[in-house]
A and B are shown apart, each in its own frame.
Chain A
Amino acid sequence: MKKNSFQLYRRDFLKSCYKALSFAGIFYLSFQPEKLLFSRENSQYDPTKHWYGMGIDIHKCIGCGRCVDACKKENNISREPIYFRTWIERYIVPIEGETYVDSPNGGIDGFPEFKGDIDILKTYFVPKICNQCAKPPCVQVCPVGATFLSQDGVVLVDEKWCIGCRYCIQACPYGARYLHPVKKVADKCTFCYHRIIKGSLPACVEVCPTQTRIFGEVGLQSSPLRRFVRFNDIIVMKQYLNTEPKVYYSGADMEVR
């Protein structure tokens, strides 16, 4: 029986559909993800069993800047004075008047002599770092899911997915983020994720000569961080913003912001 024009049309149309679909299928299958060199699934590291935090004892910091230097060397960060994952601030509180704060090149080469003419009441160093918040505002505002809070409590940036819109940098209340000058994506302290999952310490903690920084897990029953939090009066930065930072400061004066 002679098919009518519509049935012929339909047969031709379906043929082209099948062709298109098969091409699409081959196209899709050819884009399988390649096997990565280091696969966490193979290394028996279970991120759900960890929740990382850091303690900082301001009374111990001597402002030597070894932590800033080690961080830049460990993570291959540009030595320019405008990109820091961690930095030291020096506070000079006068008897009267405004507190003076400085951070020359992040403190990486120590601090020059203070030449101001004021009566100093007290003065101290404060190491600063990404607070690895449990409620990170930077993650909240990322439009594409390029920055995220990992299951073990570290806020990380996916440098292959970040589009460089810089919203996260604006949203961070602590100034912990910057735009990578070469990759043009957001960058920040990762708690040296590549080290801690292998049981090592972050570089800044490793080199601190006075044990100002204490790295550990917030939930562990016996750990130096637990003892630190138990025996010291802890504050966190900008607590009123409710970002739930996991970097705990002991000995912070009211001038520290």
Chain B
Amino acid sequence: MLDISMTNMIPEFQHITGFIYPNEFELHWGTLIVVYPYITGLVAGAFILASLERVFNVKVLQPVYRLSLLAALAFLLVAPLPLIIHLGRPERAFEMFLTPSTQSAMAMFGFVYAWYLMVVLLLEIWFDYRKEIVIWSKEKKGLSKYLYKILTLGAADISEPSLNFDEKIGRVITIIGIPSAFLLHGYVGFIFGAVKANPWWSSVLMPIVFLFSAMVSGIALVFLIYMVTSMFRWKEMNMGCLNKLAELLLYAMIIDFSLELLDFIHRLYESEESIKILAELIKGRLFISLIVSQIIIGSLAPMITITWARFFKIPDEMRRMVYFVAAILVQIGIFSTRWNVVIGGQLFSKSLRGLTVYKLELLGIEGLLMAAFLLILPLVILYILCKVLPPWVENEGEFQTSEIET
């Protein structure tokens, strides 16, 4: 393709190869929109993991059950932030609640988010913790006493029938929660998958791929948080739990990788109009973030190492090390996946004749520092949540043996 710049009014034009529509010079969805599906993916994945323990009775995951719920909540609280910050007019964000268009997947965000936050996650955590909250509201002193009193919402009855009711309702909420978690992240996939104008995004597989990569990242997140918090608290890690997590992560990764491979093969086989420019995109602009970061570092390396660590006889310390490194690689891989979808879809022109570049900034609203802030903030929130509602298994053991008067 001939490579003659459009105009020398703006120096960035030199980096454009081929032809792009004049309005396509500005990339509209940047780092913030990469961070958002990454965060909701973590939420959905962590929640599905928790529901495995609750609904499918995978008891070996007990140590991470409450931790996953709190992690999901911490990330969910931060999820709307990148969206609101990136809006051209953030002060009008509430309009999505006032006049949502029923045809727009994005309009569903406000309601799906509110539903998931209020009806699923907060309720599930509350019902699960209610007994401890009541006990703490009676036992703690000072300011925390009032905090826990408020958290009880006036329901201070922890008799046997009341707790049984909690258990039943908790199960119902979890069962509702699983499709809700699918919806929370699946609709993000639909937002991209339903854009017929963009051949990189427009695909039936997009919501499914998003979901499974969400589960991969969620499981890996819980992996990392469990290991890191255990290290900081000088507590022993439950190897049975870790091994189960590794298995689940591996299965999820295999499914995710197969789906991505299927998409790739399907595109190559059909070879329709956009194949030329997309091939150039992958070979050029996206080579590092797709081939190296997403596939090799983010999928193949973790899959191979986890298989080896889980199913071969190696000492536990080695296993933990491998799991830890693999989980970090997975996070890098899933972040790259989001990057390749969001940014990759805007790097080629809709005329299918040219490629442009994304100027990644350090500072500024769409900069790396802002992205780092938005990814660290949930960890800070998680820390606070763990202080208010400790999810550690040892604490649960205490309560089962002590006598409490209602």
Is the pairing of A and B real? yes
Contact surface of A with B, Cβ cutoff 8 Å: 80-84, 87, 89, 98-106, 115-116, 118, 128, 137, 140-146, 161-167, 169-179, 183-186, 241, 257
Verify B87–A164 contact, CB threshold 8 A: yes
CA A257 to CA B22, docked complex, whole Å = 14
Verify A175–B88 contact, CB threshold 8 A: no
Closest 8 CB pairs of A and B: A164-B88, A175-B21, A184-B88, A173-B197, A143-B107, A101-B19, A166-B28, A82-B25
A162-B89, A177-B23, A257-B352 given as contacts; is B96 within 8 A of A143 (CB)?
Answer: yes
Residue in B18, B98, B195 whose CB lies within 8 Å of A141: B195
Contact surface of B with A, Cβ cutoff 8 Å: 1-2, 4, 6-7, 9-10, 18-26, 28-29, 86-90, 92-93, 95-96, 98-101, 103-107, 109, 191, 194-198, 346, 349-353
CA A105 to CA B23, docked complex, whole Å = 10
A81-B6, A167-B104 given as contacts; is B195 within 8 A of A103 (CB)?
Answer: no
* Chain B: minimal CB distance from A184 (Å): 3
Verify B101–A144 contact, CB threshold 8 A: yes
B92 neighbours in A (Cβ, 8 Å):
144, 161-164
Closest to A164 in B: B88
* Chain B: minimal CB distance from A220 (Å): 30
CA A177 to CA B86, docked complex, whole Å = 18
B93 neighbours in A (Cβ, 8 Å):
163
Closest to B94 in A: A163
Residue in A98, A142, A179, A186 whose CB lies within 8 Å of B101: A142
B353 neighbours in A (Cβ, 8 Å):
99, 101, 257
Verify A165–B106 contact, CB threshold 8 A: yes
A106-B22, A185-B89 given as contacts; is B107 within 8 A of A144 (CB)?
Answer: yes
CA A142 to CA B108, docked complex, whole Å = 11
Interface centre among A80, A137, A173, A179 (most CB of B within 10 A): A173
Verify B4–A102 contact, CB threshold 8 A: yes
A105 neighbours in B (Cβ, 8 Å):
6-7, 9, 22
**Chain A interface, DSSP helix/strand/loop, else mixed:** loop
* Chain A: minimal CB distance from B142 (Å): 33
Apart from A84-B22, A99-B353, list 10 A-B contacts with CB within 8 A.
A101-B19, A137-B196, A144-B98, A144-B101, A162-B88, A165-B87, A174-B21, A175-B24, A177-B23, A178-B23
CA A87 to CA B25, docked complex, whole Å = 14
Residue in B28, B194, B196, B197 whose CB lies within 8 Å of A179: B28
A83 neighbours in B (Cβ, 8 Å):
23
* Chain A: minimal CB distance from B276 (Å): 9
* Chain B: minimal CB distance from A64 (Å): 17
Verify A179–B104 contact, CB threshold 8 A: no
Residue in A80, A102, A145, A169 whose CB lies within 8 Å of B19: A102
B107 neighbours in A (Cβ, 8 Å):
143-144
Verify B197–A81 contact, CB threshold 8 A: no
CA A178 to CA B21, docked complex, whole Å = 11
Closest to B95 in A: A144
Verify A81–B104 contact, CB threshold 8 A: no
A170 neighbours in B (Cβ, 8 Å):
28-29, 195, 197-198, 346
A184 neighbours in B (Cβ, 8 Å):
88-89
A143 neighbours in B (Cβ, 8 Å):
96, 100-101, 104, 106-107, 109
Q: Can you sample 28 A-B contacts with CB below 8 Å? A: A83-B23, A100-B1, A100-B2, A100-B19, A141-B103, A141-B194, A143-B96, A143-B100, A144-B95, A144-B96, A145-B101, A161-B92, A161-B99, A162-B88, A162-B92, A163-B88, A163-B93, A164-B88, A164-B89, A170-B29, A170-B197, A172-B197, A173-B196, A173-B197, A174-B350, A175-B21, A257-B352, A257-B353
* Chain A: minimal CB distance from B95 (Å): 4
Closest to A116 in B: B2
Residue in B7, B21, B88 whose CB lies within 8 Å of A104: B7
CA A87 to CA B19, docked complex, whole Å = 13
Residue in B19, B95, B103 whose CB lies within 8 Å of A161: B95
* Chain A: minimal CB distance from B21 (Å): 3
* Chain A: minimal CB distance from B326 (Å): 34
Residue in A144, A166, A175, A241 whose CB lies within 8 Å of B100: A144
A140-B104, A167-B106, A173-B350 given as contacts; is B23 within 8 A of A98 (CB)?
Answer: no
Closest to A99 in B: B353
Verify A101–B351 contact, CB threshold 8 A: yes
CA A101 to CA B277, docked complex, whole Å = 15
A164-B88, A165-B87, A166-B88 given as contacts; is B195 within 8 A of A82 (CB)?
Answer: no
Closest to A169 in B: B28
A171 neighbours in B (Cβ, 8 Å):
195, 197
Residue in A118, A128, A165 whose CB lies within 8 Å of B88: A165
Verify A140–B88 contact, CB threshold 8 A: no
A128 neighbours in B (Cβ, 8 Å):
21
Verify A103–B19 contact, CB threshold 8 A: yes
Interface centre among A84, A169, A170 (most CB of B within 10 A): A170
Verify B22–A82 contact, CB threshold 8 A: yes
* Chain B: minimal CB distance from A123 (Å): 13
